[in-house]
Chains A and B, each alone.
Chain A
Amino acid sequence: MSVLVDDDTRVVVQGITGGEGKFHAEQMMEYGTNVVAGAVPGKGGQEAAGVPVYDTVHEAVEEEDADTSVIFVPPAFAGDAIFESLDTDLELAVAITEGIPTQDMARVNKRLTETDTRLIGPNCPGLITPGEAKLGILPGNIFSEGNVGLVSRSGTLTYQVVDNLTNRGLGQSTAIGIGGDPIIGTDFVDALELFEDDPETDAIVMCGEIGGEDEEEAAAFIDDYVETPVAGFIAGRTAPPGKRMGHAGAIVSGSGTGTAESKISALNDAGVPVGDTPEEVADHIEEFLA
């Protein structure tokens, strides 16, 4: 009852010897994630978080059968780390790192068209299938098992909405944080398609924010393809044009693209109710599943 990650997923953590990498590798394992290796150049032969470390992702795949990587590498080297995952033909790479130069991501984006590896992120909290496994930094204790798929551009907003769902007994199949950068791997459309095709997902929450046109594209896709009921939330209704609201991607341009109004009306036109508050999003999901 999930997409992308479950308790069979075999994880290599890139950057496992760093503070963040080690801490979150341990947290992931504590949640039940099958972390099998770490990969850090120059640290091969060591052990970290109780698993063997290899110099390359390639070795971690050869030796430990890893199929998924989670990347905690500093921004200057993270583009390279993503390339390493893509070139090793993993099934999934999850880039947690914030602050990767945009031009590095444009090159990654090109490579993604030539490989079957799926990328989540960067600048994202990762993803979780409650009760089975998590990849990234999401706090496992707020999630609960269930049939609501969730996809979001923002980390802490995801936690807020999950909290509203969990408090009402509305558990989640999988929750995916796709990240707040201008150029990301998996986008709303990709995630919606996965949830639509997942027999165990009966309702979907989509949390967007100002900037770009991904939410508008998602609305068109929902209109054409998605039969599972979707409820939306858009952050940044009160953001003034031309000011970047934290995320590199969250900006309403001077020419008026990327506004909350445009996203909300596109979603409404596709039959997606958009909550004014996270609590209202949970109301909609409750109605869908009643």
Chain B
Amino acid sequence: MKLHEYQAKQVFADAGIPTPESQLASDVDGVLTAAEEIGYPVAVKAQVQVGGRGKAGGIELVENEEEAREAAESIIGMDLKGYHVDQVLVEGAVDFVDELYVGITMDRGEGKPVAMVSTKGGVNIEEVAEEDPEAIAREHIDPSFGMHPYQARKAVYDAGVDKAVARDVSSVLTTLYQLWDDRDGSDAEINPLMVTDDDEVIAADAVMNIDEDALFRQPELAEMEAEAAGGGDELEQKADEYNFDYVRLEGNTGIIGNGAGLVMTTLDLVDHYGGEPANFLDVGGGAKADRIANALDMVFSDDNVDSVVFNIFGGITRGDEVAKGINEALEQFDEIPKPVVVRLAGTNWEEGMEILNEDLVTVEQTLEDAVQRAVEYAEEGQA
């Protein structure tokens, strides 16, 4: 779960990390009032969760009311990399001499948190990591002790941060780790952490991503998620409603299966046999008939879909429940919207085959045959 910039900044500011004065606005008047109160120059920043907002025209630095009006009109309501901009953050511009990067993330290879500091802030840190890995100082943290004060200092000195601000940067890094730890962060980042000419540090951006699996013990953040919701397209919202792991792709062969690895494999086979996957949809383990029917509804909602392959290998998912769900979803149509190919294996597959209404679907025995058939149907559907 990703917090919006304004939410992450609030969390950071509450913990004592210096942030610029800012206000949230959702219309032009709101932007002008906020800018007046904060004092020009200000930055007007689109509140959508995509990287590279600046380059995409989602951030404007403005000197006066006229520029602020122009920026507000162009940014509010714009489409930024597929996301509709409803809100902007109006923020006092910081006069900086240096831009740093500080971040905490989980190093999955090591199974440990890692703190990172770099003097190459203000640019895409993943590019820095690729082109100049030495420019990022890393310090692994033992999660049973937390970050020792010396580790924060070491990361800051190793990165070559100017001595005049080293103490303040260490302090920001320490606070950031505590937040990451207390709030079940997956990533906590400040990029850039700006340094002013009088040696103050200030967080000009804020990233705080939370481990979805831990939201049950972070009620305050779960509430923020609800507030931040509404992003994403219609299909993604529907997937959220149904609680599916769903990813929309570009192709026209719809895919439904159980278990992430098997669904990914089904996608790969569609590609292997010359088709193009329309989506990833994992119904999860132990899905009952309702959920199976919802999955079909989900995939039929995508206009690009010309055929559907339903691939279930039951472990805790039962073939009879799957068959019931498929019947339930398809019997409500006078005409089946798109051809559906079904392959059932594993737990109760024979019971499932007895229940399944074979007038409504095409049945195949193996994964390979089912995928090839669905790809054929998709090609015919497109023609």
Say which residue of A98, A111, A163, A236 sits within 8 Å of B313 (CB atoms).
Answer: A163
Query: B332 — which chain A residues lie within 8 A by C-beta?
Result: none
B266-283, CB under 8 A of A: which get 1 and which 0?
A: 011111100001001010
Query: B247 — which chain A residues lie within 8 A by C-beta?
Result: 239-240, 243-245
- Cβ-Cβ contact count across A and B, 8 Å cutoff: 170
Say which residue of B51, B214, B245, B264 sits within 8 Å of A236 (CB atoms).
Answer: B264
18 more CB-based (< 8 A) A-B contacts, given A99-B213, A101-B211, A245-B280: A103-B143, A107-B143, A139-B346, A154-B264, A156-B313, A157-B259, A157-B262, A160-B265, A182-B108, A183-B106, A212-B109, A238-B271, A239-B264, A246-B280, A250-B260, A254-B126, A255-B129, A256-B130
Asked if residues A155 and B259 are in contact (CB atoms below 8 Å), the reply is yes
Asked whether any CB of chain A lies closer than 8 Å to the CB of B249, the reply is yes
- Closest chain-A Cβ to B377's Cβ sits at a distance in Å of 19
Complex CA distance for A68 and B211, rounded to whole angstroms = 30
- Closest chain-A Cβ to B223's Cβ sits at a distance in Å of 18
Complex CA distance for A154 and B270, rounded to whole angstroms = 19
- Closest chain-B Cβ to A284's Cβ sits at a distance in Å of 16
Asked if residues B368 and A163 are in contact (CB atoms below 8 Å), the reply is no
Asked whether any CB of chain B lies closer than 8 Å to the CB of A209, the reply is yes
- Closest chain-A Cβ to B242's Cβ sits at a distance in Å of 14
Query: B258 — which chain A residues lie within 8 A by C-beta?
Result: 156
Asked whether any CB of chain A lies closer than 8 Å to the CB of B178, the reply is no
Asked whether any CB of chain B lies closer than 8 Å to the CB of A109, the reply is yes
Report, as a range, how many residues of chain A touch the other chain.
35 or more
Main secondary structure of the interface of B (DSSP, over half): mixed
Asked if residues B106 and A210 are in contact (CB atoms below 8 Å), the reply is no
Query: B265 — which chain A residues lie within 8 A by C-beta?
Result: 157, 160, 233, 235, 278
Q: Which residue of B lies closest to A211 (CB)?
A: B108
- Closest chain-A Cβ to B350's Cβ sits at a distance in Å of 11
Query: B127 — which chain A residues lie within 8 A by C-beta?
Result: 255
Query: B260 — which chain A residues lie within 8 A by C-beta?
Result: 154, 180, 209, 245-247, 250
Identify 27 residue pairs between A and B in the complex whose beta-carbon atoms are under 8 Å apart, listed by A's number.
A98-B285, A101-B184, A102-B184, A103-B106, A103-B211, A106-B106, A106-B111, A106-B143, A110-B144, A137-B285, A137-B315, A139-B346, A142-B346, A155-B315, A160-B345, A160-B367, A182-B108, A213-B109, A235-B261, A235-B264, A236-B268, A238-B249, A239-B267, A245-B247, A247-B261, A254-B51, A277-B367
Query: A142 — which chain B residues lie within 8 A by C-beta?
Result: 346
Q: Which residue of B lies closest to A76 (CB)?
A: B216
Query: A106 — which chain B residues lie within 8 A by C-beta?
Result: 106, 111-113, 143
Asked if residues B264 and A139 are in contact (CB atoms below 8 Å), the reply is no
Decide yes or no: A102 and B106 within 8 Å by CB, A109-B111, A160-B262 being known contacts.
yes
Say which residue of A212, A255, A278 sits within 8 Å of B108 (CB atoms).
Answer: A212
Asked whether any CB of chain A lies closer than 8 Å to the CB of B142, the reply is yes
Asked if residues B313 and A103 are in contact (CB atoms below 8 Å), the reply is no
Asked if residues A156 and B108 are in contact (CB atoms below 8 Å), the reply is no
Asked whether any CB of chain A lies closer than 8 Å to the CB of B10, the reply is no
Query: B314 — which chain A residues lie within 8 A by C-beta?
Result: 139
Decide yes or no: A209 and B264 within 8 Å by CB, A106-B113, A156-B257, A182-B108 being known contacts.
yes
The 10 closest A-B pairs by CB, nearest first: A154-B261, A246-B260, A156-B259, A157-B261, A101-B214, A109-B111, A156-B262, A182-B108, A235-B264, A255-B126
Asked if residues A102 and B186 are in contact (CB atoms below 8 Å), the reply is yes
Asked if residues B111 and A240 are in contact (CB atoms below 8 Å), the reply is no
Asked whether any CB of chain A lies closer than 8 Å to the CB of B328, the reply is no
Asked if residues B315 and A139 are in contact (CB atoms below 8 Å), the reply is yes
Asked if residues A159 and B313 are in contact (CB atoms below 8 Å), the reply is yes
Query: A110 — which chain B residues lie within 8 A by C-beta?
Result: 111-112, 142-144
Query: A105 — which chain B residues lie within 8 A by C-beta?
Result: 111
Decide yes or no: A156 and B113 within 8 Å by CB, A103-B211, A246-B280 being known contacts.
no
Asked if residues B261 and A138 are in contact (CB atoms below 8 Å), the reply is no
Asked whether any CB of chain A lies closer than 8 Å to the CB of B316, the reply is yes
Asked if residues A235 and B268 are in contact (CB atoms below 8 Å), the reply is yes
Asked whether any CB of chain B lies closer than 8 Å to the CB of A100, the reply is yes
